[in-house]
Amino acid sequence: MRRIACLCAVLAATLCLAVSALAQTFTVAAGAGYKKPVTALAKAFEAAGGVKTDLIFGNMGQLIPQAKTSGAIDVLVGEKGFLEGAGLRFSGAVPLGRGVLVVAWPKGKTLAAPGDVVKPEIKRLAMADPAKAIYGKAATQYLQKAGLDKAVADKLLVVATVPQVTTYVQSGEVDAGFVNRTDVMDLGEAIGGYLEIDPSLYEPIDLAALPLAEAKNTEAIKAFAAFLETPQAREILKKHGL
């Protein structure tokens, strides 16, 4: 009986340690253009497993140095190739879908085709910083491959993040802007509309969640990675255009 009691005590202690590890707060950092789906995923994950998830959003030019030096970020969400080439060590990657570049415009404007950004009535054209934001890089690639880069050079307004571009489009401060589909697909009448860019004119944007190899909250990370593979998570990603 004493041996059984000891065994039960060991099992109980082990279970408590596992629950304690899983209950740790952990941090997910993502490109600002993916705030909506990442926030929805975190809320669903917390509801399913009770794990508190802290979220950080910004452009990757800000997040990558923070991930390298702070030790406070457990998972980065962004374009897989871009992150893997950033000098960070990851312990894996969970694919989340493919991002779509679009050009959006405010109420009162209409673009029949993406190439209409060269027209005289488009006086201000916004995009995220191509050195720090993947959709800024994609927009630059599109303009170059479509032969539009020189025609729009004098009207470009470069800002830090995709949501800033979207805000300018909504307010009418710009006549058009390059953003990701996720950021504008549910805006409805808040903007004039948007058109998808031919994906052959920019490099594929493969979104993924990548755990940092040095991250300490390993059990929470494993649980989050497993959740991202569930039908519930996939439905959330699909809802947000991924």
Half-sphere exposure of 65 (CA within 13 A, CB side): 5
Predicted confidence band at 19 (pLDDT cuts at 50, 70, 90)?
very low
Q: What is the pLDDT of residues 123-178, one digit of tens each?
A: 999 999 998 889 999 999 999 999 999 999 999 999 999 999 999 999 999 999 99
Q: Tell me whether the CATH fold assigned to 2-98+205-239 matches the one assigned to 101-196.
A: yes
Residue extents of the structural domains in the chain = 2-98+205-239, 101-196
179 labelled binding-site residue: no
Instruction: Tell me the CATH class for 101-196.
Output: alpha beta
For residue range 209-229, list pLDDT tens digits in order. Answer: 999 999 988 999 999 999 999
For the domain spanning 2-98+205-239, the CATH number is: 3.40.190.10
Higher pLDDT, 143 or 189: 143
Q: Distance between CA 120 and CA 178 in Å, rounded?
A: 17
Split at pLDDT 50, 70, 90, the class of 25 is: confident
Cα angle at 71 between 65 and 77, to 5 degrees? Answer: 65
pLDDT greater than 60 at residue 1? no
